[in-house]
Amino acid sequence: MNELLNELRELKGCHVKEHELLANHTTIKIGGPADLFIEPESIESLEAALKLIRKYQVSWRAIGRGSNLLVSDGGIEGVVIKLGNGLDHLVVKDGILTVGAGYPLVSLAMKISRQGLSGLEFASGIPGSVGGAVYMNAGAHGSDISKILTEAHILFEDGTMKWLSNEEMEFSYRTSVLQKKRPGIVLEARFKLVEGEKETIVGVMQKNKDYRKETQPWNYPCAGSIFRNPLPNYAGKLVEEAGLKGYQMGGAQISGMHGNFIVNAGNATAKDVLNLIEHVKQTVFKLYQIEMETEVEIIGRK
């Protein structure tokens, strides 16, 4: 690991830290240290870093803004690559957006709405990055990334890069091919939007934003929706009907606003959250014989 660390430090445009706490980089403010933590300033520096990581056969993981993510208290073995500054470019031409993976999705939706382009209204309250949204096919309010993405620029584990079409991304509910069988890092995305009335678009955006503010606990550190909706049922409704709203284990608490959110009510650990998730699963299954599956991605040392 020391050899890799030294070579990464020599790379131009690549910031490297040792034992960086992931709690500083997740929206739920939980997570142990990464052995190495790097922030590349460009696609080129990311490509060079991944080449070195492959050379030393070290495990790695890419993150964006850290939403929809629960990192274990033991942290992450190997390298964590954070995509942010330097991978947040944006070009708009003829209704086509080419945007870097590190661009905040909320900021993108707001900026584009003011230009009278429609299609991203659903994203007005989703706190992740463009890369993370593409990776998991983020969605809300009846729409998702698969409805607007034309292609995504991917850096694969073997170092090859390719633009994948919407069909090749194999989107389904909160899932893409990158989670299932072709692991890789989203570098850029292209979205096709349509022109509309700016006032109408901004109005829908504000309505969606207000709805989230009124119904979801973003005033507390949280990771977003914890469970996938076991359609035709809804996870939050099942949790609420089971009488679990406000239930707390350690510092982790089921939100009193929304049953599908677990908040960090104060010094929560990943173990607290995992224990609470397990309690919800067991309770809901006992009452309704429905198996709850997590939507939040759980990673790190056991």
Rounded distance, CA 141 to CA 178, Å? 24
Global pTM reads: 0.91
Q: Which domains does the chain have, with CATH numbers?
A: 2-82 (3.30.43.10), 90-200 (3.30.465.10), 217-299 (3.90.78.10)
pLDDT in tens, 254-276: 999 999 999 999 999 999 999 99
pLDDT in tens, 184-232: 999 999 999 999 999 999 899 888 888 888 888 878 999 999 999 999 9
pLDDT in tens, 64-84: 999 999 999 999 999 999 998
pLDDT at residue 181, rounded to an integer: 80
pLDDT at residue 124, rounded to an integer: 85
User: Which residues are the active-site residues?
Assistant: 174, 225, 295
